[in-house]
Structure 1
Amino acid sequence: MKIHAEALLFDNDGTLVSSLESVHRCWSRWAEEYGIAAEDFARVELHGRPAVEIIAELLPADRTAGALARIEQLEVDDVPGGVELLPGTKELLASLPAGRWAVVTSATRPLAEARLREAGIEAPVVIAADDITRGKPDPEPYLLAAAKLGVDPAACVVFEDAPAGLAAGRAAGMATVALTTTHDPSELVADVVVPDLSAVSAQATDGGVTVVAVGGPSA
């Protein structure tokens, strides 16, 4: 599939990098520290969601601030050695013109920047949980990224591995490319589904970027 776009917007964890083992390790420790029952913790979806939303499902509101600071510290401390580039990330990002892409993550800014730095990624724009009032699947994060880049949302392509992120991209009126790095293809609704970014190439044009994604439409 070939898509002409003015900007490419990437989720981070599960799309550009993988830190799933670190996430599980840190949240498991956090849950133990806060006395969260194992069965309650097991019911909560961790991937692709802002920490504050996860915490709200597990703790009363008066404990949110301290709990949020604690999980952020645990995850930032665990970044060294806990982040790895996913296939195709380095090559694709190196082919993109400056100012034509952004990272849109559900992580807080200190954590997002720590993970990107560990992976050697220098993003021109980063939208983090601190920048928004409504997280994915709400379109706000992706609409904000488009605004920061000065691009019409309809001229953007979103790259995501999680259903909530893909829903956010669709709600923003953007083309979507799903990666099957963390979810089964049957769970992903997108214009095209690929294994990872090694199946994607991009070429700069006068008006933006032409993206070629070798995959198929979602079911």
Structure 2
Amino acid sequence: MELIADALLFDLDGTLVDSLPAVIRSWTAWAAERGISEARFASIQTHGRTSRSIVADLVPADEVDAADARIQELELADLTGVTALPGAAELLARLDPARWAVVTSGVRRLAAARLAAAGLPAPRVLVSADDVRHGKPDPEPYLAGAAGLGVAPRRCVVVEDAPAGLTAARAAGMATVAVAGTHRPEELKADLVLPNLAHLSVTGTSRLVLGAA
């Protein structure tokens, strides 16, 4: 199957970078500080959501601000082992910087830090949790990414690893490519499902043609 696009919008964690070990360490420490059991934490959906929305499921409303600030502090302090996922660096190096953006559920400082730690280029357009009112699975983040690049949503392809992000992309009217790293392929509803970005073929310059490599 081939997809045609004028621009690519990439999720960050689990798509371009492997930050899972650092994420697990940070959230485990945060949960221990708050006295939240492993079973309680495991009972909620976390991947692809903003830290604030996760925190809001776990602490009283009047403690959300402080609790969210603390998890951000822990995550920013732990970049050990954050690396580029297979094919990510090579793909971004081939793309025109005006043709791609990063759209993440993380805050801007954390996204920039993880991109740098993984040795990946900073995008011209970065949409973070700081930039939108509603995070994934709402379409707002991906619509903001398209607007930042000046490309119509229907001319964008989203590359994601999480169901919440794929739902956001579909709601934004965008085609989707899923990479099966953090979820099993059968959990990912996308136009094209691949093991990782090393298996994604992108040809062309202003008109991008995507398919399985």
- Which residue does 1:26 correspond to in 2? 26
2:83·2:119 contact (CA, 8 Å) conserved in 1? no
CA positional deviation for 1:94: 0.8
In structure 1, distance between residues paired with 2:125 and 2:212? 23
- Which residue does 2:66 correspond to in 1? 66
CA positional deviation for 1:35: 1.4
C-alpha deviations, 1:25-49, integer Å up to 9, x for none?
Answer: 1001001101113321121222111
The alignment partner of 1:99 has SS state of helix
The alignment partner of 1:87 has SS state of coil
The correspondence of residues 45-124 of structure 1 with structure 2, limited to 5 A, is 45-79=45-79, 81-121=80-120, 122-124=122-124
Amino acid at match of 1:40: R
In structure 1, distance between residues paired with 2:103 and 2:77? 21
C-alpha deviations, 1:5-61, integer Å up to 9, x for none?
Answer: 110000001000111111111001001101113321121222111000000000011
- Structure 1 stretch displaced more, 24-33 or 40-49: 40-49
CA positional deviation for 1:119: 1.3
1:163·1:189 contact (CA, 8 Å) conserved in 2? yes
CA positional deviation for 1:120: 1.9
In structure 1, distance between residues paired with 2:66 and 2:81? 24
- Which residue does 2:10 correspond to in 1? 10
Amino acid at match of 2:110: L
- Which residue does 1:154 correspond to in 2? 154
In structure 2, distance between residues paired with 1:169 and 1:127? 14
- Which residue does 1:37 correspond to in 2? 37
2:139·2:169 contact (CA, 8 Å) conserved in 1? yes
Amino acid at match of 2:109: P
Percent identity over the alignment?
55
C-alpha deviations, 1:105-151, integer Å up to 9, x for none?
Answer: 00011111110111122211111001111111110000000001000
- Which residue does 2:164 correspond to in 1? 164
Count of equivalent residues:
212
In structure 1, distance between residues paired with 2:52 and 2:152? 29
1:15·1:86 contact (CA, 8 Å) conserved in 2? yes
The alignment partner of 2:209 has SS state of strand
1:16·1:86 contact (CA, 8 Å) conserved in 2? yes
Amino acid at match of 1:158: V
CA RMSD of aligned residues (A): 1.1
Stretches of structure 2 lacking an aligned partner (at least 5 in a row)? none
- Which residue does 1:183 correspond to in 2? 183
Stretches of structure 1 lacking an aligned partner (at least 5 in a row)? 215-219
Query: Structure 2 length as normaliser, TM-score?
Result: 0.96
Amino acid at match of 2:117: E
